[in-house]
Amino acid sequence: MAKEQETTMTAMRKPGAYAILRSLHLYLSLALGLFVVAIAITGAPLVWRDNVDRFIDPARYSVTGAETRLTVAEYAARARAAAGTDFGVVELRLPDAPGWPVKASLRAAPRDGGAARSIVATLDPPTGKVLGLVGVSSTFVGVLHNFHHMLMVPQFSGRQIVGWIGVVLVFLSLSGLYLWWPRNAGFLRGLRWRRSPWTTTNLHQFAGFWVSIPLAIVAMTGAYLAFPNVAYLLMSNLAPMNQPLRHGGYSALPAERTALDADRALEKALALVPGAHPRSIAFPVAQRPARDHAHAGHGGGEWRIRAQLETGEDVVVAVEDGGGAAQRVPSPEAGDRAAALIKGLHEARRGGPVWALVVFLTGVAPAVFFFTGLVMWLRRRRATVLKAAPRRGPEVSPSKVAATARRL
């Protein structure tokens, strides 16, 4: 009988799934909470990255009109003249809407064995005047982007670290939803604000329910983008995809010489898709060394023109720099469209203004959850310590003890 009671008590002391999940949710939050908050909070302003950049540095966006009166070659020449002869243009982006400047991305060889130097020039569309010239990583938005994507340590696998933290955030979001779910009451009663006498607990649970699913989506899409090679393998096994559209990568240097100029390359591209409106033009880049097997044969030797058809469809045309042959890049397959949707959802470029606001809130919410969760843990820890402390009777002064001893 005693043995059966001992077995029953042991089984009762074994933690159930709820307790195990709560412990994992708690200790992962305590261990990685500050990293999660930092990555999320730096991603929130990136939802409106261009507007934030213009708000902080309006001079670089002080355009005088919307009409692009110069040729793409002239815009590129003025940007390079302002940047210096060390730099070459790697991409030129025309305004997507009135009130925005022409943007030229320029790059130069690294100094002292560092990374390639990258700057962005903004130009006034009607006059071609260079409105500003800044380093890609020196602006407020650039710093936020580098931290959010790679913790500003790309040389130490920062991008992959962010990806794994995204996986942890997915777990925290879904496990939090499970822990919130009412166990002894109806679902609608769980939506009440006051489920606890503590405001921090109510805020943690109430906000957690409404934000958990969007937060899991944003974290999951971020983890997908952090591992591009793995993501491509997974997606291509689920749906047909074209080969990745590479043009040298973020560190590729511009080609020293080109057989065509930007105007001629654009002319050949638009001849293939008449009536299309050009959006951007990527310049040829220097070929990578043959030892770089991961990118061998990609990029370099061609121009890539992105344009929008009258139907609203985006097309990409590749123009060979040497022979001038133009060919339209194959239309996106189902997997390509899915991958573009994932990227668009994470960056809030898809879904309209409502989804953009939701993504912004998912960037702010982890800070709220970490603070309220920390307060809840400290409160529970204090209660546990007080409960475990031995109870003592009323204190008796030494004089009263002595007096009692004399009477005895």
| Close Cβ partners of 90 (under 8 Å, ≥ 6 residues apart) | 105, 106, 107, 248, 252, 254, 282, 283, 285
Taking only the tens place, the pLDDT of each residue in 122-142 is 999 999 999 999 998 889 999
**Domain-embedded: residue 167:** yes
Gap between the Cα atoms of 373 and 153, Å rounded: 29
Q: State the DSSP H helix or E strand holding residue 134, giving kind and residue range, or none if neither.
A: strand 130-135
Query: Which of 152-166, 204-218, 390-404 is predicted with the least confidence, judged by mean pLDDT?
Result: 390-404
pLDDT tops 70 at residue 274 = yes
**Domain-embedded: residue 286:** no
Q: Residue 365 has what pLDDT?
A: 96
Gap between the Cα atoms of 275 and 280, Å rounded: 15
Comparison of pLDDT for 367 and 13, the residue scoring more: 367
**Domain-embedded: residue 260:** no
**Domain-embedded: residue 197:** yes
For the chain, what is the domain count? Answer: 1
16: confidence class by pLDDT, cuts 50, 70, 90: confident
* 3-state DSSP helix/strand/coil % of the chain, to nearest 5: 55, 10, 35
**Domain-embedded: residue 302:** no
Q: Residue 246 has what pLDDT?
A: 56
Gap between the Cα atoms of 106 and 120, Å rounded: 6
Taking only the tens place, the pLDDT of each residue in 91-109 is 999 999 999 999 999 999 9
State mean pLDDT over 285-295.
50
Q: What sign has the CA pseudo-torsion 259, 106, 101, 96?
A: positive
pLDDT tops 90 at residue 193 = no
Gap between the Cα atoms of 165 and 363, Å rounded: 14
**Domain-embedded: residue 138:** no
**Domain-embedded: residue 335:** no
295: confidence class by pLDDT, cuts 50, 70, 90: very low
**Domain-embedded: residue 190:** yes
247: confidence class by pLDDT, cuts 50, 70, 90: low
pLDDT tops 60 at residue 60 = yes
Comparison of pLDDT for 394 and 61, the residue scoring more: 61
State mean pLDDT over 164-185.
90
Gap between the Cα atoms of 94 and 79, Å rounded: 13
Range of the domain at 370: 16-45+149-241+356-384
For residue 150, the tally of other CB atoms under 10 A from its CB is 19
Q: Residue 213 has what pLDDT?
A: 95
